[in-house]
């Protein structure tokens, strides 16, 4: 739950900067980069985007696998608030 809170804090900073600058492009780009960037990095860290999954799983221990999946979960939880706000922006405001 802590990572979702950090995601909301970062998104609130983006919204504050948007309200000061009135730049819609900044809001859309920053929210997209935070949301989808963290999902993309999470997919890379988890091994979802990998050239050879069998080679990776053969040499890693159970602890390494749990640590890798914990990092992936943290990145996904961090990006969820940005994606929710972006969906809200496109469906309700626009």
Secondary structure of 7-57 in HEC code, one letter for each residue? HHHHHHHHHHHHHHHCCHHHHHHHHHHHHHHHHHHHHHHHCCCCCCHHHHH
Q: What pLDDT digit, counting tens, does each position of 29-75 carry?
A: 999 999 999 998 888 877 766 666 665 666 667 787 788 888 888 99
Please give the residue that has the higher pLDDT: either 94 or 29. 29
Model-wide pTM > 0.85: no
- Give the whole-angstrom CA distance, residue 23 versus residue 43: 30
What letters, b where the CB count within 10 A reaches 16 and e where it falls short, cover 26-40?
A: ebeebbeebbeebbe
Domain residue ranges of the chain, discontinuous segments joined by +: 2-19+28-93
* 22-28 mean pLDDT: 92
| Segment 5-17, tens digit of pLDDT | 999 999 999 999 9
């Amino acid at each position: 739950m802590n990572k979702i809170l950090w995601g909301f804090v970062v998104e609130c900073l983006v919204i504050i900067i948007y309200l000061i600058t009135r730049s819609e492009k900044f809001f859309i780009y920053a929210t997209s980069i935070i949301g989808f960037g963290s999902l993309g990095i999470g997919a890379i860290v988890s091994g979802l985007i990998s050239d050879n999954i069998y080679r990776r799983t053969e040499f890693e221990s159970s602890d390494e696998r749990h640590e890798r999946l914990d990092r992936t979960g943290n990145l996904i939880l961090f990006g969820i608030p940005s994606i929710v706000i972006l969906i809200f922006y496109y469906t309700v405001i626009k």
